[in-house]
Amino acid sequence: MLQVKHPPISSVEEHRLDASHRPPADETSIRYDGWRIVAVCFVVATFGWAFGFYGQSIYLAELHRQHGWAASLISAATTFFYLFGALLVVFVAEAVRKFGPRNCLLAGTGAMAFAVVLMGQVNAPWQLYLADIALAFGWAGTSLAMISTTLGLWFDQKRGMAISLALNGASFGGIVGVPLLVIAIGQLGFPRAMTVAAGVMLALVIPVVLIFVGRPPRQSGAPAVAGDASSSTHIRARALRDVAFLSVSIAFALVLFAQVGFIVHLIAFLDPVIGRPSAAMAMAALTAMAVVGRVLFSTVIDRLNQRLASALSFVSQALALLVVINFHNETLLIVACAVFGFSVGNLITLPSLIVQREFDARSFGVLISLLTAITQVTYAFGPGVIGALRDLSGAYTLPFYGCIALELIAAVLILIRGKSAAPGV
């Protein structure tokens, strides 16, 4: 496996590094403070993905039902949300270094809650874009880049495990958040249900962050030494010339384009086929299997070829999509969604684990923010393109077959390592 390292640093820089670190802690101990941060990030991820990721499927279905807007119009706003969010995600590592993880998590939580309230009040397309701007700030402060960078401040040897455990909150948000939100909308109506959901988020997340997130023991997730050749800008520039980094970024960008597009349109696709309750059950099965897949995977991933494991995950999703397109049996569709979901959680975690293994740990936060931004810019177009193709063709068959093609292309790309073009990354 490729190991890309920083150039040697001077004794002065070593002294500065030593001064910024506390004495080594036992990350394997259950008493280690970092595991509390994992629990906090689990809670943050639960709401971040419930409202920022899985919630997009609900917003599309509800706004279409309430206002009769075309799927392409609503999906275009979702694309805007992901694109704008990608611009913010690039600078997550710098924000955490400047303002601290606690303040960034609080800001992300507040922005997400505000966006959820706005989403429930949308009555015109321009208002949807306004809500998505707020949602993008919330997503940047509660999703993968923020969680990975935050945990990088507490973990080194156990960073992969910490990230995997925390990101189970993403799947939990789909398992619990989506069905509860659907039920709440049915009982309270869309506007009131969204306001209540935002209140619940603030009541649960804010106290947890305030109580448990304190001063981190190290300053990882940022360049090791401010102002040296390995600044954030130089790390990004070198990474964008590195075949190993680009193959990971492009492969996961294509897969997440297909995955996000499929999930956003899942309820809208299944609703006329098996009904809204069963569609919500299929989404819950998908996200439940994401947890199962990630937990099972985490026990063996350190001993596996992570790129090969990624390729196999891509192929399994392609096969599940093939079943979804060609069969309309309720049970079979739910099973296919569960098979698709088995890899969903791992596709969120695997990029972090590959970067952790192949690149210098001191560049981890910057590289994860960059990789997240690249993939998000790409998959931002997933919902919009799928919505447009659906409107043009009159069905989801064509866009879903396109998703299968992207999954298979990505399975080939992820196996390409090449030679490092960025020895300083």
**Tens digits of pLDDT across the chain (425 residues):** 444 444 443 333 333 334 344 455 666 667 778 889 999 999 999 999 899 888 887 888 888 888 888 777 887 888 888 889 888 888 888 888 889 999 999 999 999 999 999 999 999 889 999 999 999 999 999 988 899 889 888 887 777 778 888 888 887 887 788 788 888 988 898 899 999 999 999 999 999 999 998 888 764 444 433 334 357 778 888 888 888 899 999 999 999 999 988 887 888 888 888 887 888 888 888 878 887 887 787 667 667 788 998 999 999 999 999 998 888 888 899 999 999 988 887 887 788 888 878 887 677 778 888 888 888 888 878 877 888 888 888 888 899 999 999 999 999 999 988 654 444 45
Residue 195 lies in a domain: yes
Locate 394 and state its tokens: 């009159």
Predicted pLDDT of residue 24:
59
- 331 in a domain, yes or no? yes
In a domain, 419, yes or no: no
What's the pLDDT at 175? 76
Which CATH number covers residue 283? Answer: 1.20.1250.20
Output the pLDDT for position 294. 78
**Planar angle of CA 141, 91, 306, nearest 5 degrees:** 80
Residue 128 lies in a domain: yes
The reply to whether 18 falls in a domain is: no
Is residue 263 domain-resident? yes
- Over the range 279-309, which residues count as b (16 or more CB within 10 Å of their CB) and which as e? bbbbbbbbbbbbbebbeebbeebeeeebbeb
- 88: part of which helix (H) or strand (E)? helix 71-89
Reduce the DSSP state of residue 328 to 3 states and report it.
Answer: coil
The per-residue pLDDT for 23 is 53
Q: What is the domain extent for residue 361? A: 34-221+228-413
Query: Into how many domains does the chain fold?
Result: 1
Residue 111 domain flag: yes
How many residues does the structure list for the chain? 425
The reply to whether 271 falls in a domain is yes
What distances in angstroms separate CA 120 from CA 192, 199, 203, 206, one per listed residue? Answer: 7, 13, 19, 22
